[in-house]
Structure 1
Amino acid sequence: MKSQTAFSVTASACATIASSRKLLAAAVLGASLFAVAPVPAQAQQAAKIGFVSTERILRDSKPAQQAQAKIESEFKKRDDELQALANRLRTEAQKFDKDAPVLSESERIKRQRQLTDMDSDLQRKRREFQEDFNRRRNEEFTAIIERADAAIKSIAEQQGYDIILQDAVTVSPRVDITEQVLKALGG
């Protein structure tokens, strides 16, 4: 498809979806690491911590790939129409450039106005397309995040994790459980 920028999952989209989780995870981690209440000797063991890459879930999971394909097919017709309109505008602009020296002043102004109107229409349709596409992608990815959260909670309960973080600056592969979550999501 020609509009690759419209169909790419960006890191900023993942960051937007996960930004509230960062604050919650930091607060929970801070509270658990700096608790001031005395802990009984039996409970004094290292906390089991895991990490899940939200970006990888939204890029590599089977549901994310299916959602991406579904969205692309839903928007393909509109994308093709935008490409056709852009090609028509380009053709008309080239024709105008070629004909401009022999056109009368009134005809030249009329065709310039037509080209400006076509360009404005194209820009408006592109903005609407991008807004609709982003809204639809966010709907699909929100559902995937909810499924991933359920899978993460299940893994945490089954394997006894005290905390699972979803965003971090650096992560040891030893605590990265993203592959387990991907498998739980079917891919």
Structure 2
Amino acid sequence: MTRAFVALLIGLGLSATAMAQSKIGFVNSDRVLRESAPAVVAQKKLEKEFEKRDQDLQKLTKQLQGMQENLEKNAVTMSESDRKTKEREFAELNREFQRRQREFREDLNQRRNEELAGVLERANRTIREIAEAEKFDAILQDAIFISPRVDLTDKVIKALNAK
């Protein structure tokens, strides 16, 4: 055997030994963002913040449905000008509804992203604290398979809930 080959084998053996002695953990970020107390608080805050606008959109939906039903039911008996006026009013209200709904979704998504970013920052800080305290070499957040033995998700959720 050549010296280079022997050195390669020794290097591979050392790295395999180092890998076998590494302490690795896993955290399911989705669960943390759904189940931790800060995530639940953020979700309730968003619901409260957007509750009035959601109710307004629901009222507008009912108003549009009533207008459409009225048009369908009475279109035959209405004069041509009344029917066109009602159709125009319906179209205008429908455009207004579509605009408000789009703005609502955009605002909600932006605020949700802001709130989740805050929760994620706290979670990552907590994960680092656990990693340092328990001397982990690596903590993964995405994996195809994880043994329950290395899953730290419950520990992270409990630590976040305690803060």
* TM surpasses 0.5: yes
Q: 1:161 aligns with which of 129, 136, 148?
A: 136
Q: Which has the larger radius of gyration?
A: 2
1:95 has 2:70 as partner: yes
Separation in structure 2 between the aligned mates of residue 45 and residue 173 of structure 1, nearest angstrom: 18
Q: Which residue of 2 aligns with 1:7?
A: none
Q: Normalising to structure 1: TM-score of the pair?
A: 0.76
1:57 deviates by 0.6
Q: Which residue of 2 aligns with 1:79?
A: 54
In the comparison of the two structures, how many residue pairs are matched? 152
Separation in structure 2 between the aligned mates of residue 115 and residue 158 of structure 1, nearest angstrom: 63
Runs of 4+ in 1 over 3 A off after TM superposition: 36-40, 42-45
Separation in structure 1 between the aligned mates of residue 151 and residue 23 of structure 2, nearest angstrom: 12
Separation in structure 2 between the aligned mates of residue 89 and residue 75 of structure 1, nearest angstrom: 21
Residue type of the alignment partner of 1:72:
E
Gap regions ≥5 residues in structure 2: 1-10
Tell me which protein shows more helix as a share of its residues: 2
Q: Which residue of 2 aligns with 1:104?
A: 79
1:131-168 CA deviation, whole Å, 9 max, x = no partner?
10010011111011000001000110111111101111
Separation in structure 2 between the aligned mates of residue 174 and residue 133 of structure 1, nearest angstrom: 38
Q: Which residue of 2 aligns with 1:65?
A: 40
Residue type of the alignment partner of 1:157:
E
The DSSP-based 3-state class of the residue aligned with 2:25 is strand
1:110 deviates by 1.4
The DSSP-based 3-state class of the residue aligned with 1:101 is coil
Separation in structure 1 between the aligned mates of residue 12 and residue 110 of structure 2, nearest angstrom: 46
1:46 deviates by 2.2
Gap regions ≥5 residues in structure 1: 1-35
The DSSP-based 3-state class of the residue aligned with 1:174 is helix
1:178 has 2:147 as partner: no
RMSD over aligned CA atoms reads 2.0
- % of aligned pairs identical? 45
1:26-50 CA deviation, whole Å, 9 max, x = no partner?
xxxxxxxxxx68859x957421111
Q: Which residue of 1 aligns with 2:114?
A: 139
Q: Which residue of 2 aligns with 1:128?
A: 103
Q: Normalising to structure 2: TM-score of the pair?
A: 0.86
